[in-house]
């Protein structure tokens, strides 16, 4: 399929029904439909309201610390001996990951809609921490659903959320990870829909979340574009980001969708290897299906039952992916590559050693992919990596993987 | 009673209920729960107990509109190796056993999508499964499935909830066939102690928009609920309370437990009509 097959510019998607081509939509229980319509309307109004935009931008600047730097990783680039690698430093954002951009946008929307209670799902805990942070700042009640397994893996973030005043509810059903946390959050929303705002942490879920979260995260790409032009006088040759649900990737990709000369590459978690079946690479190894309210690529068995995902990184451990990524894959605008746990760990250490930057395990997947791509290119080429978060939360996991006892 | 040409088994059943002024009881049961073959014993017992129709649940790994009971029964069924194909085979076996009340599948969209929507709907027609309920497929996403159901003469049953706007209820009433599934409360499935206070006004609101039969579901668990619902709806759907009951019974007593549970639920109806 070619780009021309799209009936409207790709940056103008989704359509009114939340469709990116065949992907997306609103596959939701009937109880939620009025709340979803209300959200669609409220978001449309907010987006056109200069006061809302100004408040969003004020908080991004003074609370989050934006713009985040675009840093030329010269030493890393030299070591690879290929293209120049630039890092978009989302790890320097308040709370340590890009997740805060979206949490602020939606937190302001919840407040504007008069919803006193906010719920969220979290995997790695970064989105839970971001949501708890914003709720503390805006004075909203906050409940975070988190799989029991992730609670064990990310104890530090659980403690952070509690300090921030959030209630963390362990989810014991299913695989006890992110997908089950999302099921449980949706059940809470169905039950408390009149008072509750569901603050989804990625570009997944039913319309309008994939669009709305992308829009809030696209500040990453807008800044990157401007910074790139200032630093190098041109656009990058390629952009690389890790893809869990896909929000940091959509955030940096989106402002470049209409620049065909800029390649877009997503790094999916290949876990122990695609061939082992223990991975989280929905776009590489999944099939089109419906999960959590939208149609997209999904890891599933022959009978349409959702499979457990596996990744060393809790934030990528999700069997679905945002519908816009499925669309970008289908039309060939973006390319998605599997990156194993082991490759991510190597890249993690490489970045620590060469640049003095400890990345989160999620963007370590993007670094690994960037290293792979850069090695085959000339030093005149430029690759931007979205360094979506910092690695403090992953110290235990990495130590364990490297056989170090703390 | 013979069916008018083109009239569905579901429509016929509700007509009969209405002519008798009787509330129908529609048990919901996850296929392959508690044992893989249990459904074949339990459903005939439910019919003996007085069930007006049967909802057969197709298990899904991520049932996001369901509470703890149906989550668990779904997991048990999946562990028992239940697939969409097995659900169809079970329905066929029930028809062979002489079960002649309407059979309705309730299943989340993804397993049906993977099976193939046309393959699924045509199999339902062949076997004699009369209707479908897909809790995560709102009208806006249901064009294809609705078209197939029309083509194969099956009823696609839509849900409305207390949160539904009048506009939504109107829209659904226009597209629906068979009956309207009225969700009694704002929440997920699961047995409750009492009916939600809003049920009366909610059903009255739905009634203003449609003459279709109304089935009230979610939370129904006790004869008192049935007595209350009798004045408001054409039928009630009973799921979690039944599954809890069956789950607690010894394997050789499950069918009997199911039958006596339906009789118990129906007790306010039978005592008043003699
Ligand atoms: C630092 C970081 N990067 C990436 C992700 C993956 O999410 P997404 O694909 O939505 O950016 C997470 C999720 O927790 C994260 O914490």
Spacing, Cα A97 to ligand 1 middle (Å): 8
| CA–CA min distance B85, chain A (Å) | 9
Ligand 1 within 6 A of A362 CB? yes
Neighbouring residues of B188: CB distance < 8 A, sequence distance ≥ 6: A187, A190, A191, B65, B66, B67, B218
Which one-letter DSSP state was computed for residue B2? P
Determine whether B66 is an active site residue.
yes
Q: Nearest CB to A30: which of B62, B111, B159?
A: B159
Q: A294-298 and A263-271: which strand pairing?
A: unpaired
What pLDDT, on the 0 to 100 scale, is given for residue A7? 62
Segment A91-102, tens digit of pLDDT: 999 999 999 999
Average the pLDDT over A345-352 and give the result.
98
pLDDT over 60 at A3, yes or no: no
Question: B215: closest CA among B47, B15, B25?
Answer: B25
| CA–CA min distance A121, chain B (Å) | 14
Average the pLDDT over A66-91 and give the result.
98
What share of chain A has pLDDT > 70, as a percent? 98
Give the CA radius of gyration of chain A. 19
What pLDDT, on the 0 to 100 scale, is given for residue A1? 42
Residues of A designated as active site: 99, 121, 388
Q: Nearest CB to A31: which of B75, B140, B163?
A: B163
Whole-number Å distance between alpha carbons of A111 and A134: 11
Q: Give the ipTM.
A: 0.95
- Transcribe A272-290 into DSSP letters: T-GGGT----HHHH-EEEE
Phi, psi (degrees; rounded to nearest 5) at B200 = -60, -60
Q: How many Cα neighbours within 13 Å face the side chain of B7? A: 13
Cis (ω within 30 of 0) for the bond into B235?
no
Q: Model confidence at A6, in pLDDT bands (50, 70, 90)?
A: very low
Asked if A110 and A86 touch (Cβ cutoff 8 Å), the reply is no
Neighbours of A159 (CB within 10 A): 13
What residue ranges of chain B have pLDDT lower than 50? 1-2, 273-274
Chain A residues within 8 A of B112 when measuring between CB atoms: 304
Across the interface, do A191 and B164 touch by the CB < 8 Å criterion? no
Whole-number Å distance between alpha carbons of A163 and A174: 28
Whole-number Å distance between alpha carbons of A396 and A329: 34
Length of chain A: 406
Across the interface, do A30 and B61 touch by the CB < 8 Å criterion? no
Whole-number Å distance between alpha carbons of A17 and B170: 19
What pLDDT, on the 0 to 100 scale, is given for residue B4? 53
Segment A108-143, tens digit of pLDDT: 999 999 999 999 999 989 999 999 999 999 999 999
Partner residues linked to B241 by β-bridges: none
Segment A223-244, tens digit of pLDDT: 999 999 999 999 999 999 999 9
Segment A101-116, tens digit of pLDDT: 999 999 999 999 999 9
Average the pLDDT over A172-181 and give the result.
90
What pLDDT, on the 0 to 100 scale, is given for residue B2? 46
Nearest CA in chain B to A182: B64
Q: Nearest CB to B64: which of A34, A183, A289?
A: A183
What pLDDT, on the 0 to 100 scale, is given for residue A171? 97
> Mean pLDDT over all residues of chain A?
96
Across the interface, do A33 and B164 touch by the CB < 8 Å criterion? yes
Average the pLDDT over A366-383 and give the result.
98
Average the pLDDT over A153-174 and give the result.
94
Question: A320: closest CA among A267, A246, A250?
Answer: A246
Spacing, Cα A244 to ligand 1 middle (Å): 6
Which long-range contacts (C-beta less than 8 Å, at least 24 apart) are formed by B196-202?
A: B196/B162, B198/B162, B199/B228, B199/B229, B199/B232, B200/B232, B202/B162
Asked if A376 and A231 touch (Cβ cutoff 8 Å), the reply is no
Probe residue for ligand 1, chosen from A87, A247, A322 as the CB with the greatest number of ligand atoms within 8 Å:
A247
Asked if A378 and A347 touch (Cβ cutoff 8 Å), the reply is no
**Which residue matches tokens 């497929």?**
B137
What pLDDT, on the 0 to 100 scale, is given for residue B6? 62
CA angle A146, A150, A154 (to 5 degrees): 105
Window B:78-117, CB contacts with A under 8 Å? 78, 83-84, 109-115
Across the interface, do B141 and A179 touch by the CB < 8 Å criterion? no
Window A:33-52, CB contacts with B under 8 Å? 33-35
Average the pLDDT over A316-336 and give the result.
97
């Amino acid at each position: 399929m070619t780009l021309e097959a799209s009936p409207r510019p790709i940056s103008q998607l989704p359509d009114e029904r939340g469709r990116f081509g065949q992907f997306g939509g609103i596959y939701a229980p009937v109880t939620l439909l009025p709340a979803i319509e209300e959200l669609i309307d409220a978001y449309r109004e907010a987006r056109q309201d200069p006061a809302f935009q100004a408040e969003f931008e004020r908080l991004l600047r003074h609370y989050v610390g934006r713009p985040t730097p675009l840093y030329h990783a010269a030493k890393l680039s030299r070591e690879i001996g290929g293209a120049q690698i630039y890092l978009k430093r989302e790890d320097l954002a308040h709370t340590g990951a890009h997740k805060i951009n979206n949490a602020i946008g939606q937190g302001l929307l919840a407040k504007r809609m008069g919803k006193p209670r906010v719920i969220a799902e979290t995997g790695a805990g970064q989105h839970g921490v971001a949501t708890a942070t914003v709720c503390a700042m805006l004075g909203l009640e906050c409940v975070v659903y988190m799989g029991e397994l992730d609670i064990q893996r990310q104890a530090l973030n659980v403690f952070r959320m509690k300090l921030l005043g959030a209630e963390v509810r362990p989810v014991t059903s299913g695989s006890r990870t992110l997908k089950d946390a999302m099921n449980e959050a949706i059940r809470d929303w169905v039950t408390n829909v009149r008072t509750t705002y569901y603050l989804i942490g990625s570009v997944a879920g039913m319309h309008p979340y994939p669009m709305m979260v992308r829009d809030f995260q696209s500040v990453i790409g807008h800044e990157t574009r401007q910074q790139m032009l200032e630093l190098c006088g041109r656009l990058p040759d390629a952009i690389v980001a890790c893809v869990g649900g896909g929000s940091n990737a959509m955030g940096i990709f989106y402002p470049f969708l209409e620049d065909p000369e800029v390649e877009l590459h997503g790094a999916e978690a290949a876990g122990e290897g695609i061939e082992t079946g223990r991975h989280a690479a929905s776009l590489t190894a999944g099939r089109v299906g419906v999960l959590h309210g939208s149609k997209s690529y999904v890891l599933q068995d022959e009978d349409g039952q959702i499979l457990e995902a596996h990744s060393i990184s809790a934030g990528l451990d999700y069997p679905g992916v945002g519908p816009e990524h499925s669309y970008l894959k289908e039309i060939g605008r973006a390319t998605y590559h599997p990156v194993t746990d082991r490759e991510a760990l190597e890249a993690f250490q490489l970045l620590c050693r060469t640049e003095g930057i400890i990345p989160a395990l999620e963007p370590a997947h993007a670094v690994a992919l960037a290293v792979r791509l850069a090695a085959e290119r000339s030093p005149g080429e430029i690759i931007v990596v979205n360094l979506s978060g910092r690695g403090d939360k992953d110290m235990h996991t990495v130590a364990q993987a490297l056989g170090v006892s703390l | 009673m013979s069916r008018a040409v083109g009239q569905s088994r579901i429509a016929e059943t509700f007509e009969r209920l209405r002519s008798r002024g009787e509330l129908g009881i529609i048990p919901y049961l996850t296929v392959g729960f508690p044992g893989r073959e249990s459904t074949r014993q339990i459903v005939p017992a439910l019919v003996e107990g007085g069930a007006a129709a049967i909802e057969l649940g197709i298990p899904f790994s991520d049932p996001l509109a369901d509470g703890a009971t149906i989550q668990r029964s779904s997991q048990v069924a999946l562990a028992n190796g239940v697939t969409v194909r097995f659900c169809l085979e079970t329905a066929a076996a029930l028809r062979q056993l002489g079960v002649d009340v309407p059979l309705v599948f309730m299943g989340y969209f993804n397993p049906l999508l993977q099976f193939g929507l046309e393959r699924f709907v045509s199999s339902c027609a062949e076997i004699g499964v009369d209707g479908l309920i897909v809790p995560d497929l709102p009208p806006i996403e249901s064009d294809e499935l609705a078209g197939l159901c029309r083509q194969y003469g099956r009823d696609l049953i839509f849900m409305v909830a207390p949160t539904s706007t009048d506009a939504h209820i109107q829209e659904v009433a226009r597209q629906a066939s068979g009956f309207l599934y009225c969700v009694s409360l704002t929440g997920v499935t699961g047995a409750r102690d009492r009916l939600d206070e809003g049920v009366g006004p909610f059903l009255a609101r739905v009634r203003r928009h449609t003459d279709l039969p109304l089935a009230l579901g979610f939370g129904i668990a006790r004869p008192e609920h049935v007595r209350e619902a009798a004045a408001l709806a054409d039928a009630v759907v009973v799921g979690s309370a039944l599954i809890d009951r069956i789950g607690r019974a010894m394997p050789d007593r499950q069918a009997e437990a199911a039958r006596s549970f339906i009789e118990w639920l129906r007790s306010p109806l039978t005592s008043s009509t003699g």
